[in-house]
């Protein structure tokens, strides 16, 4: 661990300026200094400019035998469309742990000791575990790493804005974070669309050629007249039970099985993607060109972060594992009902080549100079909504025993935290010690029966004036999230994200309700307005929660039960009294079970705005029947995903998208208006 200190205190002002103005007011530390603070040498990372670097997976190999730090996941209550500040809380907590609270590693002794009164002169609380020596306080540098998802450009230019946090708790440079970053989403887009092109091309060529002609083109003779299989072809041969290694030894029947995938166009689930909200691509027709010989079919575009390749990136554990997962992705079925994979199409290796740099997490920093690993960005309502396993694993090794890794799970805890536990932790083998649930007075009032909260419209008067009864009524939503999350065997800390309009009586009501529901602690946090300093109490609570948990991780369901049993276990946690399956869902469950995929975990695709399938059902609804309209599979990523109600995988733009406010200062070259 390096003894150089990279954290910095940011001068806060009130009222809080726009996010981009705060981000632009701070000169980031060169990323090599952030890396040095984590004991990374230049051999451990590749620079992407001055403020970003790709951390190489070789770090995991080097630190394989070292112990992990504490693992903290940040979820939230069921949110309003405005969001309740999970990303901001994640960053603010890490700034508190890394820039204000002492916990770990390097001691500045004798002449390098720092006068605590000088260093902590702007802090109005006691830091209890600083050591005293010769009238000097020994400053202990704390090690903490933030792990967050990369935001999609669709919502950034659409209705949501960026996802770098907000106020004085942000990842910087926030314009680079929210836009191209290091190109991971572009790599996913390219790989996804290469596979889409391979599918339709294969259907086209199979429709115009005999088995023998197909085989001759797939395995052409070289100059000496000898044929050979490419490496990826052996995966298909193995799948077919053909052990021969010489193409010339295949029988006519084996040639037909090998060369003809016979894809059923009606079964194709793979779509093209792009990282922009474009509602007019939700349904399209392809193959209308004169050279495609009538191979017309309907399909659609998804947003890039909804691609299964994004989910693969987030759940992979190594380059070899990613290669395996990408090759196993199922794009549809043959006409005889057998699953067709990317490796059947011969494209698994090429997909991995396109993703070889994307597998490395991106190192960045917070406003206060604490390290951040940014990696992957699967949607939480249609995918599992968590940053990558490899980023978390690298971070846990880098912070070491006593250090902290704080990772965010998307949307409410019923979606993001549930999938974090039952999908991500199953594949990673990691166990969190603490789960944070972010709550706001605004959202609790909505769940208590307050007027609708609509993005882009001013908040109703009910959200700007004190109403303790409305807050208390809404705490049923928070209580259910606490109960569900505690069941995993972790301590739950409620982070009450304070707004300027919140009153002491309202905040006190939330704390009381949280403790009554079984939370380990409930803490008021003002990190948006004050940065790390505003989250110190939260940091102390998290430290205590992590140090006082000894239970093993408990999953919501075992993997060896049927698909329906798993779906129903999750539905019960929502408050449902039962599950109703459409005819299509029943058909898909039967097919996936027959194909041998029933042992996978479940990734429920559901609205983020309610425990139920009805976004308008606030609070903690119960006794409802959860409708499953379809069931699909991400075999490469490693989960089955039921569709609850109607879920869109391609968002649309509102009447006034965020891009109206985004521009560039042509004198300085700085981005303005990004939120």
* Residue range 1-22, pLDDT digits in tens: 333 455 677 889 989 998 888 9
| Alpha helix (H) residue ranges in 1-122 | 19-24, 31-37, 58-62, 86-95, 116-119
Instruction: Write down the pTM of the prediction.
Output: 0.90
596 φ/ψ sector (left φ>0, alpha ψ -120 to 50, else beta): left
Q: How far is CA 571 from CA 76, 625, 631, in A?
A: 18, 9, 15
Q: Is the pLDDT of residue 132 over 70?
A: no
**Per-residue pLDDT tens for 211-230?**
999 999 999 999 888 999 99
The CATH topology of domain 19-103+143-182+357-547 is: Rossmann fold (3.40.50)
Residue 669 CB burial class (10 angstroms; 0-12, 13-18, ≥19): exposed
pLDDT score recorded for residue 117: 33
**Which is higher by pLDDT, 597 or 137?**
597
E strand or H helix that includes residue 333: strand 330-333
State how far Cα 659 lies from the chain centre.
Answer: 24
The answer to whether the CB of 534 falls within 8 A of the CB of 92 is yes
Which tokens sit at 256?
A: 């037909």
State how far Cα 675 lies from the chain centre.
Answer: 20
Half-sphere exposure of 425 (CA within 13 A, CB side): 24
pLDDT score recorded for residue 488: 97
pLDDT band at 154 (very low <50, low <70, confident <90, very high): low
Q: What are phi and psi of 495, to 5 degrees?
A: -105, 110
Q: Is the pLDDT of residue 127 over 50?
A: no
Across the range 257-282, mean pLDDT stands at 93
| Alpha helix (H) residue ranges in 487-561 | 504-516, 527-530, 536-547
**Which is higher by pLDDT, 640 or 654?**
640
CA distance linking residue 287 with residue 293, whole number of Å: 8
Q: How far is CA 475 from CA 481, 494, 529, in A?
A: 10, 12, 24
State how far Cα 180 lies from the chain centre.
Answer: 17
pLDDT band at 141 (very low <50, low <70, confident <90, very high): very low
CA distance linking residue 68 with residue 491, whole number of Å: 18
Concatenate the DSSP letters of all residues of 556-584 into one string.
SS-TTS-HHHHHHHHHHHHT-SEEEE-HH
Nearest to 476 by CA among 434, 516, 417: 516
Orientation angle between helical segments 211-218 and 184-208, nearest 10 degrees: 140
Q: Is the pLDDT of residue 156 over 80?
A: no
pLDDT band at 428 (very low <50, low <70, confident <90, very high): very high
**Per-residue pLDDT tens for 474-487?**
999 999 999 999 99
**SS3 (DSSP) at 437:** strand
Nearest to 638 by CA among 529, 534, 559, 579: 559
CA distance linking residue 477 with residue 612, whole number of Å: 12
Q: Is the pLDDT of residue 510 over 80?
A: yes
Architecture of the domain delimited by 185-354: 2-Layer Sandwich (3.30)
pLDDT band at 137 (very low <50, low <70, confident <90, very high): very low
pLDDT score recorded for residue 668: 85
Triad 631, 636, 640: Cα angle to 5°: 20
pLDDT score recorded for residue 255: 96
Q: Which residue in the block uniquely carries the two structure tokens 């701070």?
A: 26
Q: Is the pLDDT of residue 442 over 60?
A: yes
pLDDT score recorded for residue 489: 96
pLDDT band at 125 (very low <50, low <70, confident <90, very high): very low
Q: Is the pLDDT of residue 622 over 70?
A: yes
The answer to whether the CB of 643 falls within 8 A of the CB of 472 is no
The CATH topology of domain 563-643 is: Formyltetrahydrofolate synthetase; domain 3 (3.10.410)
Q: What residues contact residue 669 under an 8 Å CB cut-off, 6+ apart?
A: none
Q: What residues contact residue 71 under an 8 Å CB cut-off, 6+ apart?
A: 392, 396, 405, 407, 430, 431, 432, 433, 434
The answer to whether the CB of 346 falls within 8 A of the CB of 354 is no
Q: Which residue in the block uniquely carries the two structure tokens 């002449």?
A: 111
pLDDT score recorded for residue 109: 28
pLDDT score recorded for residue 69: 96
**Per-residue pLDDT tens for 325-379?**
999 999 999 999 999 999 999 999 999 999 999 999 999 999 999 999 999 999 8
| Residue-averaged pLDDT of the chain | 89
Orientation angle between helical segments 319-328 and 308-315, nearest 10 degrees: 150
Q: Is the pLDDT of residue 210 over 90?
A: yes
83-87, 153-157, 406-410, 601-605: least confidently modelled range? 153-157
pLDDT score recorded for residue 160: 63
Give per-residue burial for 184-194: e unless 16+ CB within 10 Å, then b. bbbbbbbbbbb
Where are the domains positioned within the chain? 19-103+143-182+357-547, 185-354, 563-643
Q: What residues contact residue 112 under an 8 Å CB cut-off, 6+ apart?
A: none
**Per-residue pLDDT tens for 576-611?**
999 999 999 999 999 999 999 999 999 999 999 999
CA distance linking residue 259 with residue 240, whole number of Å: 11
Nearest to 471 by CA among 509, 515, 519, 523: 509
CA distance linking residue 115 with residue 177, whole number of Å: 36
Q: What are phi and psi of 185, to 5 degrees?
A: -70, -35
pLDDT score recorded for residue 6: 56
Measured in Å, how far apart are the chain's first and last C-alpha atoms? 35
**Per-residue pLDDT tens for 15-52?**
999 888 898 889 999 999 999 989 999 999 999 999 99
């Amino acid at each position: 661990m390096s003894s150089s200190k990279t954290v910095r205190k940011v001068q806060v002002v009130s009222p809080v300026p726009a996010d981009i103005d705060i981000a632009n007011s701070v000169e980031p530390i060169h990323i090599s200094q952030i890396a040095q603070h984590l004991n990374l040498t230049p051999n451990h990372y590749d620079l992407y400019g001055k403020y970003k670097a790709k951390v190489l997976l070789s770090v995991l190999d080097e630190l394989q035998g070292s112990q992990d730090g504490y693992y903290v996941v940040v979820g939230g209550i069921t949110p309003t469309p405005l969001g309740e500040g999970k990303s901001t809380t994640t960053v603010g907590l890490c700034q508190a742990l890394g820039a204000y609270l002492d916990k770990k590693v390097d001691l500045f002794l004798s002449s390098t000791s720092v006068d605590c009164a000088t260093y902590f002169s702007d802090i109005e609380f006691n830091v209890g575990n600083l050591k005293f020596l010769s009238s000097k306080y020994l400053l202990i540098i704390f090690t903490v790493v933030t792990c967050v998802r990369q935001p999609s450009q669709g919502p950034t230019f659409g209705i949501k804005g960026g996802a770098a946090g907000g106020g004085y708790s942000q990842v910087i440079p926030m314009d680079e974070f929210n836009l191209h970053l290091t190109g991971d989403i572009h790599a996913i887009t390219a790989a996804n669309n290469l596979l889409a092109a391979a599918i339709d091309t294969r259907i086209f060529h199979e429709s115009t050629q005999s088995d023998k002609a197909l085989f001759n083109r797939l395995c052409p003779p070289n100059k000496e007249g000898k044929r050979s299989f490419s490496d990826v072809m052996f995966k298909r041969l193995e799948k077919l039970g053909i052990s021969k290694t010489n193409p010339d030894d295949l029988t006519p029947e084996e040639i037909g099985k090998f060369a003809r995938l016979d894809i059923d166009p009606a079964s194709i689930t793979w779509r093209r993607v792009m990282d922009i909200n474009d509602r007019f691509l939700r349904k399209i027709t392809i193959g209308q060109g004169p050279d495609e010989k009538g191979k017309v079919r309907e399909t659609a575009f998804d947003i890039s972060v909804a691609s299964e390749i994004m989910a693969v990136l987030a759940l992979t554990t190594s380059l070899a594992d990613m290669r395996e997962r990408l090759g196993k992705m199922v794009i549809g079925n043959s006409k005889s009902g057998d699953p067709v994979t990317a490796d059947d199409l011969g494209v698994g290796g090429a997909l991995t080549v396109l993703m070889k740099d994307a597998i490395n997490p991106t190192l960045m920093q917070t406003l206060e100079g604490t390290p951040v690993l940014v990696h992957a960005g699967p949607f939480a309502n249609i995918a599992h909504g968590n940053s990558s396993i490899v980023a978390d694993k690298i971070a846990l090794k880098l912070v070491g025993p006593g250090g902290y890794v704080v990772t965010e799970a998307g949307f409410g805890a019923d979606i993001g935290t549930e999938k974090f536990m039952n999908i991500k932790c199953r594949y990673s083998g990691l166990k969190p010690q603490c789960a944070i649930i972010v709550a706001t007075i605004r959202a609790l009032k909505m769940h208590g029966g307050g007027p609708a909260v609509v993005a882009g419209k001013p908040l109703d008067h009910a959200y700007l004036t004190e109403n303790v009864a409305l807050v208390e009524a809404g705490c049923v939503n928070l209580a259910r999230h606490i109960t569900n999350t505690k069941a995993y065997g972790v301590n739950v800390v409620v982070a009450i994200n304070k707004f300027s309009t919140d009153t002491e009586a309202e905040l006190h009501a939330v704390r009381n309700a949280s403790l009554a529901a079984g939370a380990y602690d409930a803490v008021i946090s003002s990190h948006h307005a004050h940065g790390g300093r505003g989250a110190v109490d939260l940091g102390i609570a998290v430290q205590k929660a992590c140090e006082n948990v000894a239970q093993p991780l408990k999953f919501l369901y075992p993997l060896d039960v049927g698909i329906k049993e798993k779906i129903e276990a999750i539905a019960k946690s929502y408050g449902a009294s039962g599950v109703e399956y459409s005819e299509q869902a029943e058909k898909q469950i039967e097919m996936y079970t027959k194909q041998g995929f029933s042992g996978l975990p479940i990734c429920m695709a559901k609205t983020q705005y309610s425990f139920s399938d009805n976004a308008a059902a606030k609070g903690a609804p119960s006794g409802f029947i959860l409708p499953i309209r379809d069931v699909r599979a991400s075999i490469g990523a490693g989960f089955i995903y039921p569709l609850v109600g109607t879920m869109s995988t391609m968002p649309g733009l509102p009447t006034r998208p965020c891009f109206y406010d985004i521009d560039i200062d042509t004198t300085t070259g700085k981005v303005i208006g990004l939120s």
